[in-house]
Structure 1
């Protein structure tokens, strides 16, 4: 068991989305958001996130007892606090979402300040294989970003772009990546010119995505030495996708 800090976490808002009829999403549903995510800056307090089951109860006279069974899943409202910044694009989109009837895509990177980081090599192959000495601790779908020192990555990959670990060929020390969650593994066609390559990746299960609505926004008052903060309520309307 490894403890994870909330410090360093980041929250993002995507675009308006249409809810699926079964209210269920998977990694592929978030592929169109990769170029749309806006970080909501100034996050000072993160609310709880997760599903609870509604309870269905029936009283039985002859048993002198109430039996309870599981009902539908219902996510609680996530109460988040931000330092108001009307120049921040992420906060402004969140305010827009409060006034909108639409659902939006949301992403949270819990404890992003503790993301795994280390030197890697990338082969020229179909697909390209990333080797992370000492082990990477990632699973299929985990997001990975590469940085190149002194040059470029192998052809087919771009520094600073978010890629996703694919299931095929995944070992404790090697993996290939795709451009979208659940997508095809990327082939590298020529060696890069970088003198070194560094990979940064969230621990498995620490990135959460969902569709939801922004229900409310309020700003506190207080005595003279109180910092003014804004509270925003986000209500998931789908399952939570973890990578």
Structure 2
């Protein structure tokens, strides 16, 4: 068991999106957002995020008891508090979302300040093998991002794109990756020009993605020595994809 701090968490807003007919999303629905995410800075308090089932109850005369079953799923509004930063691109887009009636893509990386980060070597092979000297401590399914130092990654991998650790070939110091959790292992076909490569990985289950609508913005009051903050209400309108 590993305890994870809320401190260091980051929240991102993507672009406007159309809700799917079945109100269900998966990781593939967020692929186009990889180059669109804007971090909403100045985050001071994170609201709770998650689904709850509506309760359906039925009274039984002969048993003198009420039985409850789960009904439709619904996510409560997430109340997030931010320190106003007028020129922050993420806060500007969040304000645009409040002023519109459109749904947007959202991503939260919980406890991002505790991410695992370090230099790696990537082989040119099928599949490519990533070696993390000293050990990586990652689990199958962990999301990983590679960043080249003054050059390019091996052909087959893209800098800044999220990949996922596979169970196959997973050892204390090496692993393979796929474009989606549990997908096909990625192969590299040519060496890159980077003088160094850094990998950064979030723990499994600490990244949440969803489509939702920004409903409101309010400013707090208080006595003289109270910092002015803005509370934004974000309501998920789809399931929450946990990575």
Contact 1:30 1:181 in 2 (8 A): no
Spell out the pairing of 1:91-170 with structure 2 (5 A cutoff).
91-133=91-133, 134-140=135-141, 142-149=142-149, 151-159=151-159, 161-165=160-164, 167=166, 169-170=168-169
Unmatched runs of 5 consecutive residues or more in structure 1: none
Spell out the pairing of 1:1-243 with structure 2 (5 A cutoff).
1-133=1-133, 134-140=135-141, 142-149=142-149, 151-159=151-159, 161-165=160-164, 167=166, 169-172=168-171, 173-178=174-179, 185-243=185-243
Unmatched runs of 5 consecutive residues or more in structure 2: none
In 1, distance between residues paired with 2:199 and 2:241? 23
Q: Deviations over 1:10-63 (max 9, x none)?
A: 000011111112111111010011111110000000000011111111122222
TM-score under structure 2 length normalisation:
0.90
> How much is the aligned-residue C-alpha RMSD, in angstroms?
2.1
Tell me how far 1:192 sits from its aligned partner: 3.2
Tell me how far 1:186 sits from its aligned partner: 4.0
In 1, distance between residues paired with 2:233 and 2:2? 29
Tell me how far 1:191 sits from its aligned partner: 2.4
In 1, distance between residues paired with 2:62 and 2:237? 39
Q: Deviations over 1:118-152 (max 9, x none)?
A: 23210012342212342441333x43222334654
In 2, distance between residues paired with 1:13 and 1:188? 31
Tell me how far 1:181 sits from its aligned partner: 7.0
Aligned length, in residue pairs = 240
TM-score under structure 1 length normalisation:
0.90
